[in-house]
Structure 1
Amino acid sequence: MRRFPGFHWIIILLCFFPLFIRLYLLHFNPDPRVISQAKSQYWARITVSTTRGTVEDTNGIPLALSSPAISFFIDPAVWDPANAKLLKPYVSNERYARLQTKLPGRYFSVARKVDTKKAEEIIALKIPGLFYIKETNRVYPQGQTLSHVLGFCDIDEKGLAGLELSWDHLLYSPPQSRIFAKDASGNIVDISPGDGLGASSETGVLRLTIDSRFQHIVEKRVADAFGKHKAEWAAAIMVDPLSGEIQAMCSMPDFDPNRRETFAQQEALLNNAIGRVYEPGSTFKPVIAGIALSNGITNARERFDCKGKIRIADVVIHDITSHGKLDFPGLLIESCNVGMASIGNRMDPHLTYSSLKQWGFGSPLGVGLPGEEVGLLNPPDQWRGSVPANIAIGQGLGVTPLQMTMALSAVINGGHVMKPYIVREALSSDGKIVYKGNPEKLFTVLSDKTSEYLKGVLEQVVTKGTGRTAFLGNPRVGGKTGTAQVAQGGVYLKKTYVSSFVGFWPVERPRHLLFVAIGHPRGGEYLGGRVAAPVFRKILEDVLKINS
């Protein structure tokens, strides 16, 4: 094998030496033209949100959907901080301060998901080094309507509250990592494989049992009462008592899921319909009446001497006024504490406790919404002294508006505690039903005969008792008032109440049951018959106009 002489290698190295020198200079002292050309070859990998599934009411009206949005960013390599002043009206103070400085890297987010009008204004400025990409933004077309039920998402459309959270597995599609580059004209283009921001194949449609027509009515009337009485909170639930299907649900104060700044108001984020625990007062009496009748502790013919007060153990239980001699229906019609307390005091604590558990108290009902509270129902071995009597008049235990709604539904629907449900069906992206809500009986707590009897008594509460302000005439309406003094630290507060009313119609075969609670009303009126019952009547009148 021939070998090159040594001087041949020297000649080869001399030939390549100028090239080595040129590469060295380009690396440590590049030509400005090369820098300019490199900057023009911009590319970046950016994570963008994809289309989230839609939420609809029972009639197909959109309640939550994703709409096109524009996000802006800069390439710091070509960004002139002097142009920051042009963006000041459109960005946060923190972002504005950063834009006035020399930033590292090739990508800096300026504003995410800007609405169309503002985005068009920014684009029209034609600021060098500022670019935009298309994303999607979660919007709630009906504003604050049903805000607690729907919940909200984060900036990347990940569910954080309400149905958006509990059904995130169906509605959410993870953000996509996309690659963007400049074309020959300096425009930013998506060069990623696939179809970019098209609808994700992973998301579906959630169709609710909520009827937007009823929802708007309930929210309007409850909001009016909430403001009129300067209340701390309010809640209302409309349900089909035969199926457990929730037709409307509202909570006050509320918030606008389209405005993230309202999320800081923690008291507004609580869904009082499922998360507020309070002592129910007299709306609880039909439940105790049902248990007492079913177990032979009293009967429809028993008479009670309601003198206005009764001492049980170390407590004196009062009525607003003396009712004199009352039969059993009269206890509910006049909402007599003395008579109901005497019945409660005769009931075995273990029987009452086990019965109340079957009625849905002290346990979650499984409505499928985050934040559902179980209430407070102490075990019977803690029921000493006047506790059984207090529970019979709705004191000494904690319930939620949802628990009261479903319990009172059982009183008038034949005695069945129905599982409440708010999702009618869930559809996958290809339209297949992957979930369907159906009526489900949790327990049967009354006979048909007892339920029918109590339904008639509750109609008399409206026609001639404490619920007369809910009377309409046609359709026939039944209901029960409640005025519960608020306890704090083991002491009942003066002039602090929860005013409530539960009503149903038509009496012959109820298809709507509406529970209304106004928490801590101020300004004089506090009785359930004067604060909550009129709200029920106004809602009923409005609903009848729709149904007609």
Structure 2
Amino acid sequence: MKKLFTLLIVLSFLGCKDKKQSTITPKLEKDLCESLYNDSKKIEGYTLKTYADSTIQNISKTSLLESLKESEADNGFVLVMETSTGKIKAMIGLEKDSQSKYVLSKNIAINTPIEPGSLMKTFDVMSLLEDKKSDTSSVYDAKGGKISMYGKSIIDNHLGFNELSLRKAFLNSSNTIFAKAIDSSYKNTPNQYINNFNKFGLSSSFSQISCNSVIPSPNTNSWSKITLPFMGIGYGIELTPIQLLTYFNSIANNGVMVAPLLVSNIQNNIGDSKEFSKPVSRNTECSKTTITILKDLLRQSVSKGSCQFVNSQKIAISGYSATTQINYSSENQKKEYASSFVGYFPSEKPKFTILAYIKNPNSEKGYYGSILAGSVVKNIAAQIY
């Protein structure tokens, strides 16, 4: 009887040990993940295993470095996500040091808000179609590619366009038409457009990554008549690169949004560990019909639209680019740009989704997102497919 009592105590103890609450809390998990891309956030006493693939990481670094050197840009970064799982297979940032040599960035701005520029046009099409404000055959007038709205000029990168369907406006990345389409559709109901950020997952935050997006709100002091059309072309709004990557990945993934997974395992120096192997997903509130249309548009953007530079004979790539002026509030300064491209491949059955971002290239060397950032994605795709 005494032996049985002792055995019950031991089993009870073991059961309690198995049920012991992990010391790795959700907040600590997020802080530790942040230390991977922010050197100032280092936390001692923990070992992290990531989902990074060394081959993809090295290919991404080489491709990014080539584009940075050619464009003489200040810095840039690349994110590669596995489409079906959200696992981050590569995360690389490079920047100029004091001798103008490119070195690994101590801080990779994956959760630092940026103005998305033309990347917003994909979200615009999703909103217009889902809210039945327009369809891809609806025609708008670009007025030669230069218009004035509420006292502000809006100009297309390529002048000369007049009447274009929404489809052609997307393939030609027309600022004038998207500014007009979003304003005319939502100026009386702006909250409907704003609410779509949550519905379609573009304002999401994630268990391993905090995201502090800046989305203007109607009926606040910062809101004016020009806010909505400017948002439609990606200005006056700030989203994080990881949000943009995850959003485009949800389109590649047929409307299923999977949270980005940086870390596969966390362990502390007393042996407590936590595994992260199961993807966390949710369906976006977007119809399969609209997803199918967007997938077609993103493929055509590369095959015959404004992103043709990215088109590859080796592999079908889908995606969209942005060439965003980053100092438009300073009228007397030389214009500075950020070049970006988000894409996935192979188009028919996506395996990877990639975001490339290059900041402040030498404008005399070229600064278009489809070329600078697009070439990075094209090179990576060709080597890892």
Same fold, judged at TM 0.5 (above): yes
Looking at structure 2, the residues matched to 494 and 405 of structure 1 have their Cα atoms a distance apart, in angstroms, of 30
Please tell me the residue identity of whatever aligns with 1:233.
N
Please tell me the residue identity of whatever aligns with 2:108.
N
Query: By how many angstroms is 1:388 displaced?
Result: 0.7
Looking at structure 2, the residues matched to 224 and 527 of structure 1 have their Cα atoms a distance apart, in angstroms, of 16
Partner of 1:437: 277
Looking at structure 2, the residues matched to 436 and 222 of structure 1 have their Cα atoms a distance apart, in angstroms, of 29
Partner of 1:499: 339
Partner of 2:249: 409
Partner of 1:317: 154
- In the TM superposition, what are the counterparts of 1:214-253 in structure 2 within 5 Å? 214-253=56-95
- In the TM superposition, what are the counterparts of 1:357-396 in structure 2 within 5 Å? 357-361=198-202, 364-368=205-209, 372-382=210-220, 383-396=223-236
Is the 1:503–1:515 Cα contact (8 Å) retained in structure 2?
yes
Looking at structure 2, the residues matched to 425 and 235 of structure 1 have their Cα atoms a distance apart, in angstroms, of 24
Is the 1:486–1:498 Cα contact (8 Å) retained in structure 2?
yes
Q: From the superposition, tell whether residues 272 and 470 of structure 1 become closer, same or farther in structure 2 (CA, over 3 Å).
A: same
Partner of 2:54: 212
Looking at structure 1, the residues matched to 133 and 45 of structure 2 have their Cα atoms a distance apart, in angstroms, of 49
- In the TM superposition, what are the counterparts of 1:294-333 in structure 2 within 5 Å? 294-307=130-143, 308-320=145-157, 321-333=159-171
Q: From the superposition, tell whether residues 364 and 313 of structure 1 become closer, same or farther in structure 2 (CA, over 3 Å).
A: same
Q: From the superposition, tell whether residues 492 and 318 of structure 1 become closer, same or farther in structure 2 (CA, over 3 Å).
A: farther
Partner of 1:334: 172
Partner of 2:24: none
Partner of 1:446: 286
Unaligned runs of 5+ in 2: 1-33, 98-103
Looking at structure 1, the residues matched to 332 and 278 of structure 2 have their Cα atoms a distance apart, in angstroms, of 41
Looking at structure 2, the residues matched to 438 and 493 of structure 1 have their Cα atoms a distance apart, in angstroms, of 49
Q: Name the SS for the 1:380 alignment partner.
A: coil
Is the 1:286–1:454 Cα contact (8 Å) retained in structure 2?
yes
Q: From the superposition, tell whether residues 384 and 150 of structure 1 become closer, same or farther in structure 2 (CA, over 3 Å).
A: closer
Greater share of strand residues, 1 or 2?
1
Query: RCO greater where, 1 or 2, for CA within 8 Å and sep 6 or more?
Result: 2
Query: By how many angstroms is 1:528 displaced?
Result: 0.9
- The answer to whether the aligner puts 1:483 opposite 2:323 as a matched pair is yes
TM-score scaled by structure 1? Answer: 0.57
Q: From the superposition, tell whether residues 526 and 492 of structure 1 become closer, same or farther in structure 2 (CA, over 3 Å).
A: farther
Query: By how many angstroms is 1:150 displaced?
Result: 6.5
Partner of 2:196: 355
Is the 1:250–1:273 Cα contact (8 Å) retained in structure 2?
no
| Per-residue Cα deviation, 1:57-101 (whole angstroms, up to 9, x for no partner) | xxxxxxxxxxxxxxxxxxxxxxxxxxxxxxxxxxxxxxxxxxxxx
Identity %: 22
Is the 1:505–1:512 Cα contact (8 Å) retained in structure 2?
yes
Looking at structure 2, the residues matched to 527 and 323 of structure 1 have their Cα atoms a distance apart, in angstroms, of 19
Please tell me the residue identity of whatever aligns with 1:286.
T
TM-score scaled by structure 2? Answer: 0.80
- In the TM superposition, what are the counterparts of 1:3-402 in structure 2 within 5 Å? 149=36, 161=41, 165=43, 168=44, 170-171=46-47, 206-253=48-95, 268-275=105-112, 277-307=113-143, 308-320=145-157, 321-345=159-183, 346-347=185-186, 348-361=189-202, 364-368=205-209, 372-382=210-220, 383-402=223-242
Is the 1:484–1:498 Cα contact (8 Å) retained in structure 2?
yes
Looking at structure 2, the residues matched to 514 and 464 of structure 1 have their Cα atoms a distance apart, in angstroms, of 20
- Count residues with an aligned counterpart: 342
Q: Name the SS for the 2:335 alignment partner.
A: strand
Query: By how many angstroms is 1:440 displaced?
Result: 1.5
Q: From the superposition, tell whether residues 433 and 148 of structure 1 become closer, same or farther in structure 2 (CA, over 3 Å).
A: closer
Please tell me the residue identity of whatever aligns with 1:324.
N
Q: Name the SS for the 2:36 alignment partner.
A: helix
Unaligned runs of 5+ in 1: 1-146, 153-159, 172-205, 256-266
| Per-residue Cα deviation, 1:321-340 (whole angstroms, up to 9, x for no partner) | 12233222212211011111
Partner of 1:516: 356
Rg: which structure is higher?
1
Q: From the superposition, tell whether residues 322 and 418 of structure 1 become closer, same or farther in structure 2 (CA, over 3 Å).
A: farther
Looking at structure 2, the residues matched to 443 and 410 of structure 1 have their Cα atoms a distance apart, in angstroms, of 9
Q: Name the SS for the 2:349 alignment partner.
A: coil
Please tell me the residue identity of whatever aligns with 1:211.
D
Query: By how many angstroms is 1:399 displaced?
Result: 1.9
Computed over aligned residues only, the root mean square deviation of the Cα atoms, in angstroms, reads 3.0
Looking at structure 1, the residues matched to 268 and 126 of structure 2 have their Cα atoms a distance apart, in angstroms, of 43
Query: By how many angstroms is 1:313 displaced?
Result: 1.6
Please tell me the residue identity of whatever aligns with 1:514.
I
Please tell me the residue identity of whatever aligns with 2:379.
K
Q: Name the SS for the 2:321 alignment partner.
A: strand
Query: By how many angstroms is 1:298 displaced?
Result: 1.0
Query: By how many angstroms is 1:534 displaced?
Result: 1.4
